[in-house]
């Protein structure tokens, strides 16, 4: 009576045979060819919207002609990028080259995940602008190549402004506010789309007030949100936000404000040049009405403070194609492509000499006056943790938009903010 045993073996056997057919989905880890770069593929991560498709295509083509190696661009979303990048850098096949936010670069430099590019800097980067390059340097070493920076402008719908009877773009913050009010009264459009958590714009306002987001307390960084100058920036933000029907607890990317604007029922929004392009891509008819102007500051002739958001290009320390990756950087950052990117996207290139490319780009011309006084968030490794969701600065903004005083809100998020700044590295 070995029936039980037989039944068991029968079932077990069936299982093995079926299980055996499950493992045939192989992943192809292509190894680099030995002779030259032929047959190799360089994986490059770029962020959604930061470089145009034809720029990528041209670059890939020329790169292949030059090195025989292919380039595979993979478009990444900002949302959750830090987690994705961290895990990717720990893997056997990380992206060889990747775009990294300028404010996030110091933190990643410190992790050892970025290759040292000091020799590349000596080769092609002697004339990189210092203001762009500083985010790519950590502990005296070059951990990334500066790619571009960009600052926000007012994107506006000329037709709606004309309908409201406004003839000229505003020169001061008060004029801007009054124009928006006029639009609200005279048209049925929403004067400005400004969600409660466009924190880059808030950082710009804070820079305009000359405020710092963090301060030193001994050898640690702590929140400086309770600074009255920050409060002043927040009040300005709130005043304008009150004119918008945009949600107070969302940022400018959920939903993409460019897409909202594309519907033609929004007078303006504060965004970057490429967001105007998003609007045009969503609704080509909007192009003829779309215009840009510098965010006006408190006094005429002195533009509003802006956040210099930007990106660097880095090479993964774990990439097995270091030389090829550097070849790629040389081409991508050459005057042809760096200039081409500036021209196409209206972003500030990494060399002063290339700024001529911005001529004729309406967004870039509107951005230029403010760029000189713009700044970034603190360039310290501790900063990256602050930007992780839920970002305490966003929480702070929403709290104020919903009626808390800036001082109360600052107090509310201070614990979380400090905890992140103090987070063990």
Q: Summarize as ranges the residues that interact with other proteins (CB under 8 A).
A: 1-12, 14-15, 18-19, 22-23, 25-27, 29, 74, 77, 79, 82-84, 86-92, 107-108, 110-113, 245, 247-249, 253-256, 259-260, 318, 384-385, 388-390, 395, 398-399, 402, 412, 416, 420, 423-425
Residues 6 or more apart in contact with residue 240 via CB below 8 angstroms: 177, 180, 192, 194
Please identify, using beta-carbon distances, which residue of 22 and 140 lies nearer to other proteins: 22
Please identify, using beta-carbon distances, which residue of 25 and 126 lies nearer to other proteins: 25
State the minimum distance, in angstroms, from the CB of residue 258 to other proteins. Answer: 9
> What is the four-CA torsion angle of 14, 17, 20, 25, rounded to 10 degrees?
-90
> What is the four-CA torsion angle of 334, 336, 339, 341, rounded to 10 degrees?
-90
State the minimum distance, in angstroms, from the CB of residue 11 to other proteins. Answer: 4
Six token digits for residue 220: 């640690």
Between the CA of residue 255 and those of 59, 191, 223, 260, what are the distances in Å? 31, 18, 29, 8
Please identify, using beta-carbon distances, which residue of 369 and 392 lies nearer to other proteins: 392
State the minimum distance, in angstroms, from the CB of residue 315 to other proteins. Answer: 14
Of 346, 371, 374, nearest to 290 (Cα)? Answer: 346
Please identify, using beta-carbon distances, which residue of 10 and 165 lies nearer to other proteins: 10
Please identify, using beta-carbon distances, which residue of 40 and 350 lies nearer to other proteins: 40
State the minimum distance, in angstroms, from the CB of residue 128 to other proteins. Answer: 26
Between the CA of residue 305 and those of 235, 298, 299, 374, what are the distances in Å? 15, 10, 12, 6
By CB neighbour count within 10 A (0-12 exposed, 13-18 middle, 19+ buried), where does 216 fall? exposed
State the minimum distance, in angstroms, from the CB of residue 74 to other proteins. Answer: 8
State the minimum distance, in angstroms, from the CB of residue 88 to other proteins. Answer: 6
Six token digits for residue 8: 């068991």
Rg (CA), the chain: 25
Please identify, using beta-carbon distances, which residue of 84 and 171 lies nearer to other proteins: 84
Please identify, using beta-carbon distances, which residue of 82 and 361 lies nearer to other proteins: 82
By CB neighbour count within 10 A (0-12 exposed, 13-18 middle, 19+ buried), where does 288 fall? exposed
State the minimum distance, in angstroms, from the CB of residue 30 to other proteins. Answer: 12
């Amino acid at each position: 009576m070995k029936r039980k045993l037989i039944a068991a073996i029968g079932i077990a056997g069936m299982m093995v045979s079926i299980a055996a057919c499950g493992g045939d989905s192989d992943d192809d880890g292509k190894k680099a060819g030995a002779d030259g770069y032929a047959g190799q593929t360089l994986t490059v991560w770029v962020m959604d919207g930061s470089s145009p498709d034809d720029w990528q295509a041209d670059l890939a083509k020329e790169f292949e002609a030059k090195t025989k190696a292919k380039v595979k661009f993979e478009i990444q979303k900002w949302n959750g990028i830090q987690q994705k990048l961290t895990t990717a850098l720990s893997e056997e096949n990380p992206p060889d080259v990747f775009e990294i936010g300028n404010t996030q670069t110091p933190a990643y430099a410190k992790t050892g995940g970025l290759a040292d590019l000091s020799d590349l800097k000596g080769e092609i980067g002697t004339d990189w602008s210092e203001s762009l390059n500083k985010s790519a340097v950590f502990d005296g070493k070059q951990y990334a190549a500066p790619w571009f920076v960009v600052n926000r402008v007012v994107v506006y719908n000329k037709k709606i402004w004309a309908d409201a009877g406004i003839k000229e773009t505003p020169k001061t913050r008060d004029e801007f506010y009054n124009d928006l009010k006029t639009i609200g009264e005279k048209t049925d459009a929403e004067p400005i789309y400004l969600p409660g958590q466009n924190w880059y714009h808030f950082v710009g306002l804070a820079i305009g007030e000359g405020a710092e987001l963090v301060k030193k307390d001994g050898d640690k960084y702590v929140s400086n949100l309770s600074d009255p100058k920050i409060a002043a920036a927040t009040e300005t933000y709130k005043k304008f936000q009150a004119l918008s029907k945009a949600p107070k607890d969302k940022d400018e990317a959920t939903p993409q404000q460019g897409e909202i604007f594309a519907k033609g029922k929004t007078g303006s929004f504060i965004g970057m040049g490429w967001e105007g392009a998003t609007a045009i891509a969503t609704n080509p008819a909007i192009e003829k009405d779309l215009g840009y102007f510098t965010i006006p500051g408190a006094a005429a002739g002195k533009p509003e403070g802006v956040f210099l958001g930007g990106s660097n290009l880095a090479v993964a320390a774990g990439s097995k194609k270091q030389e090829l990756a550097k070849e790629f950087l040389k081409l991508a950052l050459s005057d042809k492509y760096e200039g081409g990117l500036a021209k196409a996207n209206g972003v500030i290139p990494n060399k002063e000499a290339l700024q001529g490319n911005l001529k004729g780009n309406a967004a870039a011309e509107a951005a230029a006056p403010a760029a000189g006084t713009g700044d970034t968030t603190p360039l310290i490794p501790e900063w990256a943790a602050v930007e992780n969701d839920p970002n305490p600065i966003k929480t702070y903004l929403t709290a104020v938009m919903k009626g808390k005083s800036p001082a109360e809100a600052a107090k509310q998020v201070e614990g979380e903010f400090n905890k992140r700044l103090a987070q063990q590295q």
